[in-house]
A = this chain, B = another copy of it.
Amino acid sequence: MFSPAFDELVQALRRLPSVGQKTAQRMALHLLTRDRPAAERMAEQLTSALSRIGHCRQCRILSETELCRVCADETRDAGQLCVVESPTDWLAIEQSGVYHGRYFVLSGRLSPLDGLGPEEIGLPNLLRHVAQQPVQELILALSATLEGEATADFIQEQAAAFVPRISRLAQGVPIGGELEYLDPHTLNRAFTGRRS
């Protein structure tokens, strides 16, 4: 378009999630013609984040320190280990404030068709962790999808020997959910798991 360096910047911006050619062009133009300080700042922060942010040695969440703040927090219950699929799920649970144990963050869920086996999502690390640490309860907070359920089944099978209790999140009607809009599978779970 304007110059080779411009085109290369557009290609680099296209690698952001849900950014296509047009959006990337608009971003590059904005940065170069209207907000050069923002471009400088982005370059700096990207470089700084890449060098400073790694993974917590224990739970694999993004962290600048060897142990993340949850794993380093002595007041959190080390007997409970909540397994999540991604940092966003970790964040959702942390922000809800309902949980006071530790975490283990997988890199997604089992999906053989996408080439994601136990190794790729980090299951060997999880099993090593539960074999070495005194975990009393493993809470499988995985997606209520086919792949999430398969991943939970797999973990349950492999971890059963090391952990006294393995649990999963309750399934049913979400708060504020109107029954008429619920799918049959959720209604089925809500009936099966009804409480008196």
A17 — nearest CB in chain B belongs to which residue?
B30
CB of A9 closer than 8 Å to a CB of B: yes
Set of chain B residues within 8 Å of A36, measured between Cβ atoms: 50
Set of chain B residues within 8 Å of A31, measured between Cβ atoms: 16, 46, 49
Set of chain B residues within 8 Å of A86, measured between Cβ atoms: 29, 33
CB of A113 closer than 8 Å to a CB of B: no
Set of chain B residues within 8 Å of A42, measured between Cβ atoms: 12-13, 15-16, 42-43, 46
CB of A41 closer than 8 Å to a CB of B: yes
CB of A181 closer than 8 Å to a CB of B: no
Whether A5 lies near B64 (C-beta < 8 A) is yes
Main secondary structure of the interface of A (DSSP, over half): helix
Whether A38 lies near B15 (C-beta < 8 A) is yes
Whether A43 lies near B43 (C-beta < 8 A) is yes
Set of chain B residues within 8 Å of A15, measured between Cβ atoms: 35, 38, 41-42
CB of A127 closer than 8 Å to a CB of B: no
User: Complex: how many Å from CA A75 to CA B13?
Assistant: 34
Cross-chain pairs A/B with CB under 8 angstroms, 16 sampled: A2-B63, A2-B87, A3-B53, A3-B63, A6-B53, A9-B46, A9-B49, A13-B42, A17-B27, A29-B88, A31-B49, A33-B62, A39-B50, A42-B43, A42-B46, A43-B46
Interface residues in chain A, defined as those with a beta carbon under 8 Å from any beta carbon in chain B:
1-6, 8-9, 11-13, 15-17, 26-33, 35-36, 38-50, 52-53, 61-65, 68, 86-88, 91, 107
